[in-house]
A and B are shown apart, each in its own frame.
Chain A
Amino acid sequence: MIKINYIALIKVVTVFFILLNFVSCSSDPDSPGLEYMPDMYRSPAIEPYVDYAEIRGRENKEIKLKRSAKRPPYGSIPYVGTDSSTVSIMMPYNRKAHISMKTTHGMYDDDLSEINQYDLAVSDKNPLKLTLENSTKIFEEGKQLFNSNCAHCHGKKGDGNGPMVKSGAYAGVPNYSNLTNLGDGQIFYSIYYGKGMMGAHSSLLNKKEIWTLVHYVRKFQDPDYGNFDLNDASNLEQ
């Protein structure tokens, strides 16, 4: 009598453990699964978006689950080739954000200014000169940049009626044709540091791209902007 119960007990326990094994087979959902040669999978050199707390069995607790994307060191200048006109455009921006942008735009790590440099920027000229040769290319580039970075709010026609506004998610986007009294430098400043609800786009666009966009935005306000028609061209040649 006792013997039978004992065996039954062992069986129950065994079945339970076998079932438990099946459960543990449903693997960790945050693991991509089995790999052939893990030592060839992870780069010892720094790669973007990879947690470097554990490399080749060594664990560094200090950097575990810390961001891998960081701002470049203060004052660093991107290498953009040796063309002097491009280099001068890509040098760090001389205008500083206003001190109030600390709380309105989160610029705690930036050099800020007590003076409102947005007003001073009205006199800044676009260093990307439009000529007969480059204007088509600049407007084409501007269109691509505008459609992927601006059009969802500002609208493909620059009327402040992009899909974000149409869907009712976002409100308060100005129509460019109401802003004709802005200087080129002020448009640049607003894209670079943001203005009102709009955030800074300096992390998304480099200075040359922003100046290209300034040309493209001007085109919304004045369809003749940057038009070199045949008469003008012949004038230039003379």
Chain B
Amino acid sequence: MKISSSQVLAIFIKLSIRAIIILFIIPSFKSNGQGEALFKAKCATCHQIFKDGTGPKLYQVRQKWSDGGAKENSIILWVNNWSKAVAADPYAQQVSTWSPTAMNNFPDLSKDQITSIFDWIDSQEEVVASAGPSSEVGAEDIDQSSNSTWIWIILGVIFSIIILAVGGVRRQLQSTSLEIDGGKLEEDLSYLDELKRLAWKYRKTVAISIVCIIIGLVVSLFLTLYSVGVVENYQPSQPINFPHSIHAGVNGIDCKYCHNSVNKSKSAGLPTVNVCMNCHKQINGNTPEQQEQIQKIYAAAGYDPSGAGKYTGETKEIIWNKVHQLPDHVYFNHSQHVKVGGIDCKQCHGDMTKMDETVKVQSIQALNMVEGNIKLTKPTLTMGWCIECHGAKEISTGSLDSKKDGYYDEIHKRLMDGDKDLYRKYLEDGKVTVKELGGWECAKCHY
């Protein structure tokens, strides 16, 4: 038999392909490397190893099937085409009712590949989540401070009783000692008379202290009046201890995801419960404190997290307390500031990625410490604060049409046509501020 050179080549190629398979692919079966890669590419979207998700958890799922009385290899058939497995095996039929979401079919996975996936899954070990820092430290602090006020009151009452009792004893001793001495009391002095006599005796001190008290009262009256309508550090209680630091900080969620209407509308918007559920359908908390808080979201959304998870349709409201309140006679629009003005949230709300308590109105000192903020002096959310920023913030550096977003083109055109000198004056410091385009006019915000 004669062998041509092309046949030799063909045999050589065949052999070398087999060698490659033996050398590379077969060992990878043993090391389960293929199982891990396949699990991540095909299964991980719906299945987790130790936790039910869209699909049930897969740890020792083969054991579960054989314990449940499933036929041999019926789980392999299930992965290839679950409806065929349902037809062939009553246990698979029972599994298919776990969730109304149907599993994808994977007809291209071979039996060995599926086995390697399950082998890899069963070789994993569950890492028990360590308890994170308690989120309820704030609440405990509040309790302690209110307890300590009561301690002070009780102490005060006890001390005043002691002082009065000692005073009474002293008076009695005095009068008895006078009686014993045989000297008649000048007259039976009442407390008031005694006080008058003392006041006259030390009249200079009394006069000075009265003046001091009056000055103090006037000053505190003015301070009180100045604090009316100033809401710095206002931090109302909230139905859920929501830590912004975890959501916006650790998990890097953009502010605009939850406060979704911020560049479309006047109000930034509170997320509706379905937005919470976009993540919390899967995340139910590592510590008991977190679980307790997340349970409140489930109650509001009408979600039962057991098993495959199920919405019951019985929803209720979460009633948040509004933190940043502007009076009705002021008009403020988030979209104008965020979308047109390009102001970052942190200019007015501070660095929420580090805020682990419930939201509060940040004080101006705290806002000035945030990097990149325009530094202001007046208290947050007062008119002085708004005005100050309108005077400092530029709309554009250079002419108004240099922004290229079209928003200020009209006013640029009108200034060029109508009042070039005014425009030149605006641009003297190299920028056009909000104030120069009417940001200090009353009717811009009050109408």
Is A157 part of the contact surface with B, judged by Cβ < 8 Å?
A: no
Let me know if A4 and B100 touch, CB within 8 A.
Answer: no
Chain B residues in 8 Å Cβ range of A69: 270, 272
Is B235 part of the contact surface with A, judged by Cβ < 8 Å?
A: yes
Let me know if A197 and B281 touch, CB within 8 A.
Answer: yes
Is A85 part of the contact surface with B, judged by Cβ < 8 Å?
A: no
Is B67 part of the contact surface with A, judged by Cβ < 8 Å?
A: no
Let me know if B46 and A35 touch, CB within 8 A.
Answer: no
Is A207 part of the contact surface with B, judged by Cβ < 8 Å?
A: no
Q: Which of B3-11, B226-234, B385-393, B413-421 contacts A (4 or more CB under 8 A)?
A: B226-234
Chain A residues in 8 Å Cβ range of B365: none
Chain A residues in 8 Å Cβ range of B92: none
Complex Cα distance, B328 from A47, in Å, reads 9
Is A73 part of the contact surface with B, judged by Cβ < 8 Å?
A: no
Let me know if B311 and A103 touch, CB within 8 A.
Answer: yes
Let me know if A164 and B41 touch, CB within 8 A.
Answer: no
Task: Apart from A69-B270, A163-B253, A170-B279, list 18 A-B contacts with CB within 8 A.
Answer: A4-B168, A12-B161, A29-B236, A31-B236, A34-B229, A47-B328, A48-B266, A103-B311, A106-B274, A148-B257, A163-B251, A164-B251, A164-B253, A167-B250, A171-B53, A196-B46, A203-B274, A203-B275
Let me know if B311 and A104 touch, CB within 8 A.
Answer: yes
Chain B positions near chain A (C-beta within 8 angstroms): 41, 44-48, 53-54, 99-101, 149, 153, 156-157, 160-161, 164-165, 168, 171-172, 191, 224, 227-231, 234-237, 250-257, 260, 266-267, 269-270, 272, 274-275, 277-279, 281-283, 301-303, 309-311, 313, 315, 317, 319-322, 325, 327-329
**Closest chain B residue to A178, Cβ basis:** B41
Chain B residues in 8 Å Cβ range of A108: 311, 313
Complex Cα distance, B228 from A32, in Å, reads 10
Chain A residues in 8 Å Cβ range of B267: 48-49
Let me know if A164 and B279 touch, CB within 8 A.
Answer: yes
17 chain-A/chain-B pairs, Cβ below 8 angstroms? A4-B171, A8-B164, A8-B168, A30-B236, A33-B228, A35-B228, A40-B327, A49-B267, A49-B270, A66-B317, A102-B311, A106-B311, A164-B251, A164-B252, A196-B45, A197-B281, A199-B274
Is A76 part of the contact surface with B, judged by Cβ < 8 Å?
A: no
Give 9 nearest A-B pairs by CB, closest first: A163-B252, A100-B100, A106-B311, A199-B278, A43-B328, A148-B254, A196-B54, A41-B327, A148-B256
Is A19 part of the contact surface with B, judged by Cβ < 8 Å?
A: yes
Report the interface size class on chain A.
35 or more
Max count, chain B CB within 10 A of own CB: residue among A11, A32, A164? A32
Max count, chain B CB within 10 A of own CB: residue among A7, A12, A171? A171
**Closest chain A residue to B44, Cβ basis:** A172
A169 with B172: in contact, given A23-B153, A106-B303 (CB under 8 Å)? no
Complex Cα distance, B171 from A102, in Å, reads 83
Complex Cα distance, B40 from A172, in Å, reads 8
Let me know if A171 and B252 touch, CB within 8 A.
Answer: no
- Give which listed residue, A11, A50, A65, A203, contacts B322 with CB less than 8 A: A50
Is A92 part of the contact surface with B, judged by Cβ < 8 Å?
A: no
Complex Cα distance, B176 from A4, in Å, reads 14
- Give which listed residue, A33, A50, A104, A201, contacts B101 with CB less than 8 A: A104
Let me know if A147 and B311 touch, CB within 8 A.
Answer: no
Let me know if B171 and A197 touch, CB within 8 A.
Answer: no
Complex Cα distance, B353 from A167, in Å, reads 15
Complex Cα distance, B311 from A49, in Å, reads 26
- Give which listed residue, B231, B275, B279, contacts A204 with CB less than 8 A: B275
Distance between A54 CB and nearest chain B CB, rounded to angstroms: 14
Is A198 part of the contact surface with B, judged by Cβ < 8 Å?
A: yes
Is A105 part of the contact surface with B, judged by Cβ < 8 Å?
A: yes
A106 with B235: in contact, given A40-B329, A148-B254, A199-B277 (CB under 8 Å)? no
A197 with B328: in contact, given A12-B164, A34-B228, A104-B101 (CB under 8 Å)? no
Let me know if B228 and A36 touch, CB within 8 A.
Answer: yes
> How many A-B contacts at CB < 8 Å in the complex?
179
Distance between B43 CB and nearest chain A CB, rounded to angstroms: 9
**Closest chain A residue to B281, Cβ basis:** A197
- Which residues of A from 62 to 111 have beta carbons under 8 Å from B? 65-67, 69, 100, 102-106, 108
Chain A residues in 8 Å Cβ range of B53: 171-172, 196-197
A32 with B47: in contact, given A148-B256, A172-B54, A204-B257 (CB under 8 Å)? no
Distance between B280 CB and nearest chain A CB, rounded to angstroms: 9
Complex Cα distance, B327 from A40, in Å, reads 7
Distance between B303 CB and nearest chain A CB, rounded to angstroms: 7
Distance between A93 CB and nearest chain B CB, rounded to angstroms: 17
Max count, chain B CB within 10 A of own CB: residue among A8, A47, A103? A103
Let me know if B281 and A151 touch, CB within 8 A.
Answer: no
Complex Cα distance, B30 from A54, in Å, reads 71
Distance between B316 CB and nearest chain A CB, rounded to angstroms: 10
Chain A residues in 8 Å Cβ range of B278: 194, 198-199, 201
Contact with B along A138-158 (1 / 0, CB 8 A): 000000000111011100000
Complex Cα distance, B156 from A201, in Å, reads 59
**Closest chain B residue to A145, Cβ basis:** B256
Is A200 part of the contact surface with B, judged by Cβ < 8 Å?
A: yes
Is A174 part of the contact surface with B, judged by Cβ < 8 Å?
A: yes
Complex Cα distance, B171 from A230, in Å, reads 107
Complex Cα distance, B101 from A104, in Å, reads 8
**Closest chain B residue to A67, Cβ basis:** B317
Chain B residues in 8 Å Cβ range of A49: 267, 270, 320, 322
Chain B residues in 8 Å Cβ range of A171: 44, 48, 53, 282
Chain A residues in 8 Å Cβ range of B253: 152, 163-164
Complex Cα distance, B338 from A148, in Å, reads 14
Chain A residues in 8 Å Cβ range of B252: 152, 162-164, 167
